[in-house]
Amino acid sequence: MIKTILITGASSGIGRQVATQAAQQGHQLILVARRLEKLTELAEYLFDEYHTASLVVKCDLTDHEQIERMVTKAIQRFKRIDVLINCAGFGSFKSYKKYSYEDYQQMFETNTLATMYVSQLIANHMEKMKNGHIIIVASVAGKIATSSSTLYSATKFALIGFANALRLELSKSNVAVTTINFGPVKTEFFEHDSDSKKYYNRIKWIALDVEDAARTIVNQFSDKHFIQREINLPSYFGYLSNLYQLFPKIGDFLASHLANFK
């Protein structure tokens, strides 16, 4: 079944790879990001390679009015949105002492508030259709916090809580909500600042391939796969987060020592 899929953060990283794999399956795409030139280049590539026509929408997701216009434009064009994939976001990994108020504001606006508002608007549309699937790319940092990730972890913990509550509200409308928590992924995500680059150099040996990460997302809206409530990759992070909740003191010790690569 051909579906209409809206992807935020489509210009790079996981979002771009999800768009590519979805185009291979013939789905209709709405590509959303700030960088219009990157989106246009991607849309042209997808058309040339897979004959997929995409709607490109430049949108600053920290501006709620731009979000509203983007959603309206997408619905007017395709009449329905079957799948929303929230990929937009960035990270910064440094001591809590180094963050300014503007840092807090910027990351929450991008990682958390934008995803919440886009999801709210699309959920309203899906409820009327009595069908749909919202996928929120969070992070294992939203399950297990480590040092030098105070701000990033906070934005992702909030997203997971939002998704869990939204899932309950939408359950009677045949609208699914899936949270996907990745560990480090091999993308330009870690190019944000020098601290993040140094962190990535220490953990790149455990980083996921972006193609595998994207395939996990695409499988969730494939007709042949069972829709999951939550996915943690690598899978052992899911088990670790459960142990962290059951044995918090031991969890703190492990997070401070074994899992502290910053």
What is the pLDDT at residue 146?
83
In a domain, 261, yes or no: no
Mean pLDDT for the stretch of residues 18-23? 98
Q: Return the closest-CA partner of residue 19 out of 55, 62, 71, 63.
A: 55
35-90 residue pLDDT tens: 999 999 999 999 999 999 899 999 999 999 999 999 999 999 999 999 999 999 99
What is the pLDDT at residue 88?
95
| Cross-strand partners of 232 | 181
Mean pLDDT for the stretch of residues 122-141? 96
In a domain, 262, yes or no: no
Q: 238 CB contacts (<8 Å, ≥6 apart)?
A: 143, 181, 230, 232
Amino acid at 245: Q
* DSSP, residue by residue, 99-119: --HHHHHHHIIIIIIHHHHHH
What residues make up the domain containing 221? 4-256
Q: How far is CA 50 from CA 4, 26, 54, 82, 131, in A?
A: 16, 7, 11, 20, 27
Structural domain count, the chain = 1
What is the pLDDT at residue 256?
64
What is the pLDDT at residue 24?
96
Choose, from 152, 199, 200, 244, the residue flagged as catalytic: 152
Mean pLDDT for the stretch of residues 203-222? 86
187-205 residue pLDDT tens: 766 566 666 556 656 666 5
In a domain, 61, yes or no: yes
Mean pLDDT for the stretch of residues 157-182? 97
Q: What region does 260 belong to: left with phi over 0, alpha with psi -120 to 50, or beta?
A: beta
Reply yes or no on whether 239 is catalytic.
Answer: no
What is the pLDDT at residue 259?
53
What is the pLDDT at residue 198?
65
What is the pLDDT at residue 238?
72
How many residues are listed for the chain in this entry? 262
What is the pLDDT at residue 203?
61
Where residue 211 falls among pLDDT bands split at 50, 70, 90? Answer: very high
226-260 residue pLDDT tens: 889 999 988 777 777 777 778 777 767 766 655 55
In a domain, 90, yes or no: yes
Q: Which CATH number covers residue 24?
A: 3.40.50.720
Cα–Cα distance for residue pair 78/50, rounded to 1 Å: 19
Q: 64 CB contacts (<8 Å, ≥6 apart)?
A: 117
Mutual angle of helices 13-24 and 36-50, in 10-degree steps? 20
In a domain, 245, yes or no: yes
Model confidence at 125: pLDDT above 70: yes
Q: 163 CB contacts (<8 Å, ≥6 apart)?
A: 134, 136, 138, 177, 178, 179
What is the pLDDT at residue 261?
52
